[in-house]
Amino acid sequence: MGNLNRQIMYAVLMSIIFGLIFRWCESYYFEIFFGPALILIGQVFLMLLKMIMVPLIFFALTTSISSLKKNHQSQRLWQGTIAFYLITMLTAIIIMMTAFNIFSPGTDSELLMNPAGVSGDETDKTSYSLSGVIQSLIQNPFKALASGNIMAVVVFSIFFGLSLRSSNKNIQNVRSLMSGLFDSIMQIVNWIMRFAPLGIFALLTDLIVKQDMAVFMELFYFIAIVIFVILFHGLVVLPFILKFFTKIKFMDFFIKGKEIFITAFATSSSAATLPITIKTLEKNYKIEPNVSKFVLPLGATINMDGTAMYEAAVALFVANIVGINLGFSDQVILVFIAMAASIGAPAIPSAGMVTLVIVLSTLNLPVEYIALFIPVDRLIDTFRTTINVEGDVVAALVMNRFIKKS
């Protein structure tokens, strides 16, 4: 992983150098040869990420839910954890959306791209209905898996995971098969990540060559607000919740958990941080193993405050850039779709960037604008992953207290 991180850093550096050279030369060869090649490589990288996203979520959720034991305490644990995750994510999104509505970054920028077929008129035609949402949540699982309907996959994974808790011998065989399949999916994720330096190089170089400098200035404002608000959630809101429920002090929390936060920041992956999170909490807080082994893996999969905040921020920013006014009902939809997309985002680097497709397309915003955020994704991912993991740690400490009291 360390090696890969270094390669990604080199890829970023190389892309800046090559991007500036190509930009400066206005090379004919770039237009004819390098440009299309970079687009192809970048697209393949994005397609690989999308390819693995759905199976990864399915196997991760199914295996973690199938390992829940059946008793009263585990029922409290399961319900309390889900409620905690949903409430903290909701709070995080609302804080970010409030900041974006106040500061409105992106409103002064010119239309940076003009993707074919995207116009303000089209966005007005979207209509959302409760029955439509429910229909998209409860679906034939094969259709949901094939069409990449993440939330329907999540719903089915919950049912399927619960059914695998049976003591029936045949079903238990399926359970171990599922956990083996999950391991093999993680192996594919590792392979895809090896392609990440090249994919990132391609995407970044292409972007730098074509990028309008005004966008960078606009993005700096966007980045500053996003990071400031994410840090506010991590340094104020989450520690306050922790103190309220557990009386654990702010400094104690950060000192005892520093290995976790540094690892999360460095790896940009909640999943990669998970072994250290579990070990540190059991060692430094003597947390119940059955609490940490349930709350933390589930949290790494579904609880992503930082990612949820980012998804909402990007949607509002893109809407501002293209001059689409998201009204109150659109913003309410955004709250839920940002939450759903972050729940569905796998705990790997830049996963939140991929699930942005769901958020933008649901709101009928131009999906092509994701390209704008690729250069800043590594940076923002470090912050959002740290906050994602912090949310899991706070949940585990609160649930530990809750279970001990019950």
Judged by CB under 6 A, does residue 88 bind ligand ASP?
no
Whether the Cβ atoms of residue 230 and residue 309 lie closer than 8 Å to each other = yes
As measured in angstroms, the least distance from the Cβ of 174 to ligand ASP is: 28
Identify the three-state secondary structure at position 67: coil
Which among 218, 257, 212, 8 is positioned nearest to 113, based on CA atoms?
A: 212
Q: Which of 225, 260, 312, 347 binds ligand ASP (CB under 6 A)?
A: 347
Whether the Cβ atoms of residue 305 and residue 233 lie closer than 8 Å to each other = yes
Dist. CA 141–CA 156, nearest whole Å: 6
- The contact mask relative to ligand ASP for 250-269 (x = CB under 6 A, - = no) is ------------------xx
Which among 298, 293, 314, 274 is positioned nearest to 400, based on CA atoms?
A: 293
Judged by CB under 6 A, does residue 307 bind ligand ASP?
yes
**Please, which residue, 19 or 391, has the CB nearer to ligand ASP?**
391
Whether the Cβ atoms of residue 107 and residue 320 lie closer than 8 Å to each other = yes
**Please, which residue, 118 or 348, has the CB nearer to ligand ASP?**
348
- 117 φψ region: left (φ > 0), alpha (ψ -120 to 50), beta (else): left
Dist. CA 97–CA 330, nearest whole Å: 12
Non-local CB neighbours of 327 within 8 Å, separated by 6+ positions:
none
**Please, which residue, 239 or 349, has the CB nearer to ligand ASP?**
349
Judged by CB under 6 A, does residue 314 bind ligand ASP?
no
Non-local CB neighbours of 236 within 8 Å, separated by 6+ positions:
none
**Please, which residue, 34 or 336, has the CB nearer to ligand ASP?**
336
Judged by CB under 6 A, does residue 386 bind ligand ASP?
no
**Please, which residue, 230 or 403, has the CB nearer to ligand ASP?**
230
Which among 62, 80, 46, 128 is positioned nearest to 337, based on CA atoms?
A: 128
Judged by CB under 6 A, does residue 56 bind ligand ASP?
no
Dist. CA 86–CA 393, nearest whole Å: 15
Q: Which of 348, 374, 398, 399 binds ligand ASP (CB under 6 A)?
A: 348
Whether the Cβ atoms of residue 52 and residue 188 lie closer than 8 Å to each other = yes
Judged by CB under 6 A, does residue 199 bind ligand ASP?
no
Judged by CB under 6 A, does residue 391 bind ligand ASP?
no
Judged by CB under 6 A, does residue 304 bind ligand ASP?
yes
Number of amino acids touching ligand ASP (CB under 6 A):
16
Amino acid at site 17: I
**Please, which residue, 109 or 362, has the CB nearer to ligand ASP?**
362
Judged by CB under 6 A, does residue 388 bind ligand ASP?
yes
Judged by CB under 6 A, does residue 381 bind ligand ASP?
yes
Part of the chain binding ligand ASP (CB under 6 A), chosen from 10-18, 97-105, 216-224, 382-390: 382-390
Tell me the CB-side half-sphere exposure of residue 60, using CA atoms within 13 A.
25
**Please, which residue, 8 or 209, has the CB nearer to ligand ASP?**
8
Residues that bind ligand ASP (CB under 6 A): 268-270, 304, 307, 345, 347-352, 381, 384-385, 388
